[in-house]
Chains A and B, each alone.
Chain A
Amino acid sequence: MSERAELYFNVDHGYLEGLVRGCKANLLTQKDYINLVQCETLEDLKIHLQTTDYGNFLANETNPLTVSKIDTEMRKKLCREFEYFRNHSLEPLSTFLTYMTCSYMIDNVILLMNGALQKKSVKEVLAKCHPLGRFTEMEAVNIAETTSDLFRAVLVETPLAPFFQDCMSENALDELNIELLRNKLYKSYLEEFYKFCKNHGDVTAEIMCPILEFEADRRAVIITLNSFGTELSKEDREALFPTCGKLYPEGLRLLAQAEDFEQMKRVADHYGVYKPLFEAVGGSGGKTLEDVFYEREVQMNVLAFNRQFHYGVFYAYVKLKEQEMRNIVWIAECISQRHRTKINSYIPIL
């Protein structure tokens, strides 16, 4: 079966795969980063970025240049590329790409609801939304009072609708509930996406499943880490863990019982994949758990490009590009705040 898929892959998706590989080749190199780090002002940064694939994407920005402008323009550029992929994609790649946007949509919905809760104007919050996760009904989320309201009125037609099955409730949407909602949504989203990739089979499953497993485990760990010292009960916590990772089921049960970082680390020690990650935390350079996870993610995404005829490259490209944007924003922030000591702690993309 897999041979046949490889035979026919290029008929439908060959063009896009070629394109995405070309895009990947244009990611900033180590040399570019070295040059970026040397920049004195944001203008210098802009000039240097002009020599890379970003081109004169900031050409039409009015002065003065700020970090957020750079960020917005970079996002817009990524969004343009992604839209191009999406507009030229065929099934099942287009479904795959839709799945990719769902995580951004979830983030946007949550962001908007939080904004509404804090009585911020919609426009202000909208500017912060990720353009990849934009959809028409998005701005209407603040009319909903409860989760089921939200689902019935606003999100029933969006791709997010299937993820709502677990989180229908009549609770008023306060901050905690929104956070719970986000995690529940993300959990069912990840599980669905995982199922989709698994069912698709072939190289796509071989590449995407480990990446999504890692993503699920990362979320479980981060949820655990964030829930220390909050009123979230252990049962509730366990209900939020995505179940498609390597930690499922024993690891998740243990994680649910963990009470501090040390206990969490002990759980990770049972897993060959995560042990070195936890050991790297706080080592040389004072890396946080987040950094370590990011590094591991980058590594997996780069490796995805070693195989051909699968959809994982699209996912990996967008994630790598996101990491690159985070790096640039980090460097730009360090430059603009004249805080150069930590400028080198971006995540290198191999």
Chain B
Amino acid sequence: MGSMFRSEEVALVQLFLPTAAAYSCVSQLGELGLVEFRDLNASVSAFQRRFVVDVRRCEELEKTFTFLQEEVRRAGLVLSPPEGKLPAPPPRDLLRIQEETDRLAQELRDVRGNQQALRAQLHQLRLHSAVLGQSHGPPMAAAAYAEGPSSERTPLISAPGGSHTDLKVNFVAGAVEPHKAAALERLLWRACRGFLIASFREMESQLEDPVTGEPATWMTFVISYWGEQIGQKIRKITDCFHCHIFPYLEQEQARHGVLQQLQQQSQELQEVLEETERFLSQVLGRVQQLLPSGQVQVRKMKAVYLALNQCSVSTTHKCLIAEGWCAACDLPALQQALQDSSSEAGVSAVAHRIPCRDMPPTLIRTNRFTASFQGIVDAYGVGRYQEVNPAPYTIITFPFLFAVMFGDVGHGLLMFLFALAMVLMENRPAVKAAQNEIWQTFFGGRYLLLLMGLFSIYTGFIYNECFSCATTIFPSGWSVAAMANQSGWSDKYLSQHPVLTLDPNIPGVFLGPYPFGIDPVWSLASNHLSFLNSFKMKMSVILGVTHMAFGVFLSIFNHVHFGQAHRLLLETLPELIFLLGLFGYLVFLVVYKWLQVSVSSAASAPSILIHFINMFLFAHSSTNLPLFPGQEVTQYTLVVLALAMVPVLLLGTPLYLLRQHRRLTARVACSQDENKDRLLDSSDASISENGWSPDEEKAGCPGDEEAEFVASEAFMHQAIHTIEFCLGCISNTASYLRLWALSLAHAQLSEVLWAMVMRVGLSMGREVGVAAVVLVPVFAAFAVMTVAILLVMEGLSAFLHALRLHWVEFQNKFYLGTGYKLSPFTFTTDD
């Protein structure tokens, strides 16, 4: 848990991997997931790298796998996920896997091809028999025309000229896909007007397409035509529509014979096809066994080669040099892993830390409880390396601020129970494997929900609201009886005045504060709302100022950790004085007034608002009594002090940096003069010292760490920061009033729901029968609306506002969030 407060120490390590063992080392690292490799060949394009051939081979294999997978899927079979742990296979196994896969793929292709061919043949046969099978009427009719042309039809057939006797009717018969039939018919008609008679007919049964397997109703057609030229044209047209043309004998008898023959053929073919399909399923069965494990293995192998592609080669070509980020506490494990996996090769791989000036990645280990809270922080921005991590504080403050807006015992309890159910079920595989996105969101934040529910119950007790109704756990601190006795309210007086005031100044009426939370008597009072408003508003300001001050306070840890003492003095201190001097004082006034002003002096109580406004105006109002002696002097001091902090904040850090920079440049110039001669002598040595290879150097330390100091930029940056902070103090404090607004909205909404639905239902009738009949639908409506509106909608809005308060108001006091996450090279895919 200690690592939650800031990110772990991450070191840049250099790995020397002997060429023989490099593969096994990297594959072992992939299993463990310890190191994030840095690309040392950024300048080399993808196809010029060292292991590109191997990667290409893996890709080749993957292509074959895709083909196999597609085949299996097409056969309607499922691939089981691979069992057990499958390490990346040694490189020499690739050949074996490749051979095996290729053989299988070839076999499958052959069988599939055979099956395809057989199916096509069968399809053809069926089409043929369908074409022959249906007795087309029109050809007969056409034949009739040819034999005896009646006078009405003469223009149709006398066009070719010559006597009718040598006219011979020819036929083209075939089948065409249904969606093309209409176009074909039109084209035929247009191209050979009137020289043909075409009859189209749908087939009775559907045929499966030999390639896609989709059933389709083909159209068969018989075209009778005159003349050879027309025949050629028709043939061309049918060709272009990809029709299947079959010989069509003129005699009915002959056709019948052919038909029978065809049927016999198709039966034989069917048998062969069945045999082929049986064989195919055998092959597919073998594929099913081989494929899942092969896919995982090859994918791992490819990943290893891609990682190896990021390494550079040592000058002696004996080993590969890799660089990567690794958590400092994982270094021994890394060493161990390298040693284990390189022991076979004889030479052992080593890893050692190298100094680095780049900002390392951020690594914060989470468990299932902290993950969701870290997620809230990371959604804003991943923290810089070793910056203070707001997540541990968020664990408490987030659910608390949520609960302030969501305070209701009943609603909190429902949320708590829902979250508890999820927490208790979390190990069940069915729950884990659920794919529903909304469910996954809720499930991922189950611990967050649990705490949110718990805190809501707590604040619900503070507000004394359970489904908007007050509970009386303790006796109320107010006594109506005492009031009635003291002021002698008669029955008549009571009946005339529906609204009466309880005066706490009368002894016995107000016995003392309620032990915990809001007194239930307020839920009956007509000034319930104005009382709660005053209370919640002040509470919001107090919570807000505390929260922000805590944020500023946390920046101290940042400055101390990064050794920036000047910022402690020139930034954090002025900020704290500014915030606490103005708004801390406001909080003090609120608390002071709560404690100091009693019931007896309520009539002449001073107004904090006026006091606070006067404080800024350096004014004084005679009607507003001072809260404590010496108040004006204190206020003047605080305002002057706070305003004095603005220039300090504005100019302090830049001036300090400027001075430091000047001193540094002076010293460097001084030392450079001295060392000029020596440098000239040893220039060769220095080059060989820090330059094993140009790539490494490029990747290792890009640019100078002491980036060019630009004074104007520093001033500008600080000015922005100052303005943001000073204005932010005011606007952020106001922003915390959303706590009041949302809790008010929630309370009012739940009260409306109770009064409008449940109370109406309860007052319908007192007989058991009526109540039973009415209350069931009324309660159903109440329950549904409670869950939909109050729990889900209100919960979401309260969640969003709590999120904003954390991201904007709290984190901008200390958190930069400009880092990047450590993403180690790992084979595991589950998130």
Task: Identify the A interface with B (CB < 8 A).
Answer: 35, 38-39, 43-44, 47-48, 51, 59-60, 122, 136-140, 142-143, 152-154, 156-157
Contact = CB atoms under 8 A, between A and B. Distances in A.
A154 B240 CA distance: 11
Contacts of A38: 45
B676 interface: no
B46 A122 contact: no
B10 to A, nearest CB: 29
B599 interface: no
Contacts of B190: 152-153, 156
Contacts of B63: 59-60
Given A47-B52, A59-B66, A153-B187, A142 B236 contact: yes
Given A43-B47, A139-B240, 20 more contacts: A44-B47, A47-B47, A48-B45, A51-B46, A59-B59, A122-B239, A122-B240, A136-B241, A137-B187, A137-B240, A139-B239, A139-B241, A140-B187, A140-B237, A140-B241, A142-B236, A143-B237, A152-B190, A157-B183, A157-B186
B71 to A, nearest CB: 13
B256 interface: no
Interface string B168-191: 000000000000100100110011
- Closest 10 interchain pairs by CB? A139-B240, A153-B191, A44-B47, A140-B240, A47-B47, A143-B236, A153-B190, A143-B233, A35-B45, A140-B237
B56 interface: yes
A153 B192 CA distance: 8
A156 B63 CA distance: 45
A137 B236 CA distance: 12
Chain B CB within 10 Å, residue with most, of A60, A140, A156: A140
A136 B191 CA distance: 15
A153 B183 CA distance: 11
A122 B237 CA distance: 12
Contacts of A47: 46-47, 52, 56
Contacts of A157: 183, 186
A335 B541 CA distance: 72
Given A137-B183, A152-B190, A48 B240 contact: no
Determine which residue in B45, B52, B56 has the highest number of CB atoms from chain A within 10 A of its CB, and name it: B45
Contacts of B187: 137, 140, 153-154
11 contacts: A44-B47, A47-B46, A48-B45, A122-B239, A122-B240, A136-B180, A137-B240, A140-B236, A143-B191, A153-B190, A157-B186
A60 B183 CA distance: 34
Contacts of B233: 143
Interface in B516-563: none
Interface in B240-261: 240-241
Contacts of B67: 60
User: Do most interface residues of chain A lie in helix, strand or loop, or is the interface mixed?
Assistant: helix
A35 B67 CA distance: 30
A130 B187 CA distance: 23
A141 to B, nearest CB: 9
A38 B59 CA distance: 22
Contacts of A137: 183, 187, 240
A138 B236 CA distance: 12
Contacts of B180: 136
Contacts of A43: 47, 56
Contacts of A44: 47
Nearest to A34: B45
Contacts of A136: 180, 183, 241
B47, B186, B233, B241 pick with most chain A CB within 10 angstroms: B47
Nearest to A47: B47
Contacts of A48: 45-47
Nearest to B238: A140
* Most chain B beta-carbon neighbours within 10 Å: one of A47, A60, A152, A157: A47
A122 B190 CA distance: 21
A122 B239 CA distance: 10
A187 to B, nearest CB: 26
Nearest to B234: A143
Contacts of B45: 35, 38, 48
Interface string B39-79: 00000011100001000100100010011000000000000
A280 B593 CA distance: 87
Contacts of A39: 47
A51 B47 CA distance: 11
B187 to A, nearest CB: 6
B655 to A, nearest CB: 44
A192 B421 CA distance: 69
A77 B142 CA distance: 49
Contacts of A154: 187, 191
A138 B183 CA distance: 12
Nearest to A138: B240
Contacts of B59: 59
A48 B190 CA distance: 51
A311 to B, nearest CB: 29
A136 B66 CA distance: 32
Contacts of B237: 140, 143
A139 B242 CA distance: 10
Nearest to B62: A59
A137 B242 CA distance: 11
Interface string B188-203: 0011000000000000
A151 B227 CA distance: 23
A23 B567 CA distance: 49
B613 to A, nearest CB: 48
Contacts of A60: 63, 66-67
Contacts of A143: 191, 233, 236-237
Indicate the member of A48, A122, A139, A153 with the most B CB atoms within 10 Å.
A153
Contacts of A139: 239-241
B43 to A, nearest CB: 12
A177 B241 CA distance: 27
Nearest to B235: A143
Nearest to B179: A136
Nearest to A59: B63
A242 to B, nearest CB: 29
A154 B236 CA distance: 12
Nearest to B236: A143
Nearest to A116: B236
B237 to A, nearest CB: 5
A35 B48 CA distance: 11
Contacts of A35: 45
A48 B48 CA distance: 11
Contacts of B183: 136-137, 157
Contacts of B52: 47
Interface string B302-335: 0000000000000000000000000000000000
A182 to B, nearest CB: 21
A109 to B, nearest CB: 13
A258 B697 CA distance: 65
Contacts of B239: 122, 139
A142 B180 CA distance: 19
B122 to A, nearest CB: 24
Contacts of B191: 140, 143, 153-154
A328 to B, nearest CB: 16
A156 B183 CA distance: 12
Contacts of A142: 236
A47 B49 CA distance: 12
B690 to A, nearest CB: 30
A24 B190 CA distance: 43
B400 to A, nearest CB: 43
A105 to B, nearest CB: 15
A51 B186 CA distance: 48
A119 to B, nearest CB: 13
A179 to B, nearest CB: 23
A39 B52 CA distance: 14
Nearest to B70: A60
A174 B239 CA distance: 23
B239 to A, nearest CB: 7
B44 to A, nearest CB: 11
